[in-house]
Amino acid sequence: MESTNYVVGFTLAMTVIVALTLSSLFYGTKDQVAQNADVFNKRAILSAISAKLDKPVSDFSDQDVLSLFEEKVEQKVLSMDGEELDGIMAEKVDMAKEAKKPEEDRQLPLFIYNGGGEKVYIVSVRGSGLWDAIWGNVALQSDFTTVVGASFDHAGETPGLGAEIKDNPAFAKQFGGKKIYNDGEYVSVGVIKGGAKNLAYEVDGLSGATVTADGVDEMLFRGIKYYEPYFGKAKG
């Protein structure tokens, strides 16, 4: 057996070396990683309005994504009463933190795409999947009723199952053209296990990922409703 001093010395040396290696790597890559994450999130927002863009979002370079956002996307932050808040950008709103606040204190990010023609309003929603948080962006026409498109993401759903909400373009594609109001009554877009029945307001769930699909259903119903006060004001 080695002496205690040796074991302690070895452990200390190992810890110092590992800590230095990892922290210097972390600081070396930090800025690029932050930019990658930023582009990734903006790409997700843009893919909710892919129907309005002239080419698929995957064909945009990172720089294209950032400049398109700079030029054509207006960012607003709303209170739960639908009032616009000053001095904060929608992209700075951390949905994970907001979800922990009491409902009436939350801030809601709103992205308005202004690419000629009618404006498109993109709202953000957040909920729970099977393993961890899920979130998404839903783009609405200026009637605040018709869905232009949607995109989803998740923290830890299973690839091939729950992760299909992000990875399978066919899932998000179903949302285009759906309505969230039925004769003035708020219905959201339902995600239905076993297949949509009412095609105006429902989409198909995911086989093998029922819990995640139910999470999307719940998240949409609750999350879009938060924006209702704003919809009322914006419609005048």
**Residue 225 beta carbon to another protein: minimum distance, rounded to whole angstroms:** 26
| Cross-strand bridge partners of residue 146 | 179
Span 37-96, contacts to another protein by CB under 8 A: 37, 39-40
3-class secondary structure, 154 = strand
CA distances, 196 to each of 22, 72, 134, 165, 190 (Å): 49, 34, 21, 16, 8
**Residue 14 beta carbon to another protein: minimum distance, rounded to whole angstroms:** 6
User: Is residue 120 a contact point for another protein (CB under 8 A)?
Assistant: no
207: region left, alpha or beta (phi > 0 left; psi from -120 to 50 alpha)? beta
Nearer to another protein, 77 or 189 (CB): 189
Q: In the set 96, 155, 199, 200, which binds another protein (CB under 8 A)?
A: 155
Q: What is the DSSP string of 84-148?
A: EESS--GGG--HHHHTTS-GGG--EEEEEE-SSSS-EEEEEEEEE-SSSEEEEEEEE-TTSSBEE
Site size toward another protein (CB under 8 A) is: 43
**Residue 164 beta carbon to another protein: minimum distance, rounded to whole angstroms:** 7
Span 184-223, contacts to another protein by CB under 8 A: 195, 204, 206-208
**Residue 235 beta carbon to another protein: minimum distance, rounded to whole angstroms:** 34
Report how far residue 105's alpha carbon sits from residue 84's, in angstroms, rounded to the nearest whole number.
14
User: Is residue 32 a contact point for another protein (CB under 8 A)?
Assistant: yes
Nearer to another protein, 62 or 228 (CB): 62
Report how far residue 206's alpha carbon sits from residue 192's, in angstroms, rounded to the nearest whole number.
9
Helix, strand, coil proportions of the chain in percent (round to 5)?
A: 45, 20, 35
Nearer to another protein, 10 or 186 (CB): 10
User: Is residue 1 a contact point for another protein (CB under 8 A)?
Assistant: yes
Contact positions toward another protein, by CB under 8 A?
1-2, 6-7, 10-11, 14-15, 18, 21-22, 25-26, 29, 32-33, 36-37, 39-40, 131, 153, 155-156, 158-161, 163-164, 166-171, 173-174, 195, 204, 206-208
